[in-house]
Amino acid sequence: MFLGDPLADNNEALSRRSTNKDKTYFLGYRDTAKVCDGLSHQEAHTITFALASLGVIKIVSKGDAGPNGRKAAEFRYLLPQNENGAQEDDVGFEY
C-alpha cells in the first residue's frame, strides 16, 4: 500500500494479480478513474504520470488515446511487496 492512495493501491493489486512473468498489466485511464468517485479520466492520467515520476510505477507503453482506443496503457509496479501485499518496510500506523 502506497500511503493509502487508491490509484497506487490499484496498481499494486493489478501487479500482484498479473500472470505475466515481468508482472506487467494493462489499465485504461477511464477504468482507473472508476477507482475513485468523482475522478475524471484526465485526472487519473495526471495522477498516473505523477506515480510514474515518483518511481511507484513504470509506464511500459502508453496505449491508444481516446474513448475508442483499442489498446490500454501497460504498467509495471516498482515498489517492493511482501506476501500480504504490503511494502517490506510498512509497519502500520503508529499510535
CA torsion sign, 83 to 84 to 88 to 91? negative
Predicted pLDDT of residue 36 = 86
Predicted pLDDT of residue 72 = 83
The model's pTM is 0.74
Within 10 Å of residue 9's Cβ, how many Cβ atoms?
15
Identity of residue 2: F
User: Helix 41-53 and helix 6-17: axis angle, to 10°?
Assistant: 70
CA torsion 73-33-66-27 (nearest 10°) is 20
All structural domains of the chain? 6-77 (1.10.10)
Predicted pLDDT of residue 95 = 43
Cell triple for 72: 490500454
Predicted pLDDT of residue 89 = 53
Cell triple for 87: 511494502
Over the chain (95 residues), the average pLDDT of each successive run of 10 is 73 93 92 89 92 95 75 91 55 48
Rounded CA gap, 52 and 8, in Å? 10
- Backbone region of residue 64 per phi and psi (left: phi > 0; alpha: psi in -120 to 50; beta: other values): beta
Predicted pLDDT of residue 67 = 67
